[in-house]
A and B are shown apart, each in its own frame.
Chain A
Amino acid sequence: AQSVTQPDIHITVSEGASLELRCNYSYGATPYLFWYVQSPGQGLQLLLKYFSGDTLVQGIKGFEAEFKRSQSSFNLRKPSVHWSDAAEYFCAVAPNQAGTALIFGKGTTLSVSS
Chain B
Amino acid sequence: EAGVAQSPRYKIIEKRQSVAFWCNPISGHATLYWYQQILGQGPKLLIQFQNNGVVDDSQLPKDRFSAERLKGVDSTLKIQPAKLEDSAVYLCASSLVGDRGYETQYFGPGTRLLVL
Contacts and interface: CB of A to CB of B under 8 A. Distances in A.
A4 B42 contact: yes
Contacts of A107: 40-42
A4 to B, nearest CB: 7
A46 B106 CA distance: 8
Interface in B79-95: 91, 93, 95
A63 interface: no
A53 interface: no
Contacts of B44: 104
B101 A98 contact: yes
Nearest to B92: A43
Given A99-B95, A104-B42, A106-B40, A94 B102 contact: yes
Interface of A: 4, 32, 36, 41-46, 49, 51, 90, 92, 94, 97-107
Interface of B: 4, 31, 33, 35, 40-45, 48, 50, 55-56, 91, 93, 95, 97-110
